[in-house]
Amino acid sequence: MATMTMIEAIRSALREEMARDERVVALGQDIGQLGGVFRATDGLLKEFGADRVFDMPLAEAVIAGSALGLAVSGLVPVAEIQFLGFTHQAFHQIAPQIARYRYRSQGRYNAQVTIRTPFGGGVRTPELHSDALEAQFVQAPGLKVVMPSNPYDAKGMLLEAIRDPDPVLFCEPLRGYRLVKGEVPEGDYTVPFGQSRVTREGGDVTLVAWSAAVQLAERSAARLAEEGIEATVLDLRTLVPLDVEGLVSAVEATGRCVVVHEAPLTAGFGAEVVATLQEEAFYSLEAPVARVASPDTPYPIASIEDYYIPSVERVVDAVRRTVSAK
């Protein structure tokens, strides 16, 4: 197996699927000649030509909306929106149009569209480039929301996303693109949606996270181990569908839980995790479930973002309080 970065794993999934299925086309801003601002589509234009890889006008709504039309015509589009923060300009196409096309047409049409988009902070981007907006899309029934944390999952879940008959929002952690490396099989494999994964086992507390926050949870768990607190880390991997069973059993095993995410606290997906545990695991809980999230402020300008994104210190602090709670 080769060791790859996240971005290499994503590129390898795109290349292999475009070679395997000639209906698959890629569209987005700067994805052709430039290979995408993060080079996720590097080389695809040369390999597959301008009839498969489309450099689009700078207009997010029509990137998303035309992808729906391309899907109805019989193609399988994979659209790139350059940053999740820019999906605001396409939200009306993604949530009320793409997500509910199957429903509105009573199953006659489906939008087999994958929308890839980097998100999250920690790399000193200008404004609007780092926002973690995943919870907004979770409220768009019909859409799947996929949040890979590592190269293996990124490739296997992108292949799953492209083949999924339903539309998928595929969020890629910007900070992890080159930082996170891992072993990735050559060739075809898929990672099914709705199956969380325990990345580290410990009996004292369960840390629940997704995407880049998984690495944060793992670093926090390593620090906690030094002081004798053993944490399980659960990577949800997909928010829709949500692996309720995996979540509940991972938390029941320890009786304590801290949810970690990059999005602002209020009505972030962490709130959904807590509510689910309250309904499904209440009698196993030995302490209130804590959340470590970003504050309810706009994503700040680069020089102060380190105070904004959850840190190992904040996670460790929350875990100490949770573990000592009677």
Residues 6 or more apart whose CB falls under 8 angstroms from that of 76 comprise 21, 23, 24, 25, 112, 162
210 vs 240: CA distance, rounded Å: 12
Q: Which of 9, 18, 53, 64 binds other proteins (CB under 8 A)?
A: 64
Site map 125..164 versus other proteins, x via CB under 8 A: ----------------xx-x-------------------x
Q: Which positions from 76 to 115 touch other proteins by CB under 8 A, shown as an x/- string?
A: -x--------------xx--xx--xxxxxxxxxxx-----
Q: Is 192 in the site for other proteins (CB under 8 A)?
A: no
Structure tokens at 227: 């002081």
Contact 255, 286 (CB under 8 A): yes
How does strand 238-240 pair with strand 144-146?
antiparallel
Q: Which amino acid is at 100?
A: R
Between 245 and 313, name the residue whose CB sits nearer to other proteins.
245
Place of tokens 């430039």: 34
Residues numbered 227 to 286 that lie near other proteins (CB under 8 A) are: 240-242, 244-245
Which residue of 56, 132, 147, 217 would you call a contact of other proteins, by CB under 8 A? 56
User: Considering the rule CB under 8 A, would residue 25 count as an interface residue with other proteins?
Assistant: yes
Q: Which residues contact 245 (CB under 8 A, 6 or more apart)?
A: none
324 binds other proteins (CB under 8 A): no
88 included as an active-site residue = no
Q: Using CB under 8 A, which of 194, 249, 252, 284 touches other proteins?
A: 194
Amino acid at the residue 186: E
90 contacts 61 by C-beta, under 8 angstroms: yes
Does 66 participate in binding other proteins (rule CB under 8 A)? yes
Helix H or strand E segment including 145: strand 144-146
CB of 321 to other proteins, least distance (A): 30
Q: Which of 88, 92, 129, 261 is catalytic?
A: 129
Which CB sits closer to other proteins, 5 or 110?
Answer: 110
Residue 316 main-chain phi, psi, to 5 deg:
-60, -45
Q: In what order do the strands lie in the sheet with 197-200?
A: 197-200, 231-235, 205-209, 257-264, 290-294
237: phi then psi, degrees, rounded to nearest 5: 65, -50
* Contacting range for other proteins; rule: CB under 8 A; set: 58-66, 129-137, 258-266, 312-320: 58-66
Q: Which of 126, 165, 203, 288 binds other proteins (CB under 8 A)?
A: 165
- R_g over Cα of the chain: 19
CA distance 185 to 245: 28
- Which two three-digit tokens encode residue 54? 């489309």
**For the packed helices 244-254 and 269-280, what is the interaxial angle rounded to 10 degrees?**
70
CA–CA distance, 209 with 204 (Å, rounded to integer): 16
Interface with other proteins: number of residues (CB under 8 A): 47
For residue 57, state whether it binds other proteins (rule: CB under 8 A): yes
- Rounded to a whole number of angstroms, the minimum distance from the CB of residue 79 to other proteins is 10
Instruction: Tell me if 69 contacts other proteins by CB under 8 A.
Output: yes
CB of 325 to other proteins, least distance (A): 29
196 binds other proteins (CB under 8 A): no
Quote the least distance from Cβ 147 to other proteins, whole Å. Answer: 15
Using CB under 8 A as the criterion, which residues of the chain lie in contact with other proteins when the complex forms? Answer: 25, 51, 56-57, 59, 61-62, 64-75, 77, 92-93, 96-97, 100-110, 141-142, 144, 164-166, 194, 240-242, 244-245
Supply the residues annotated as catalytic: 129
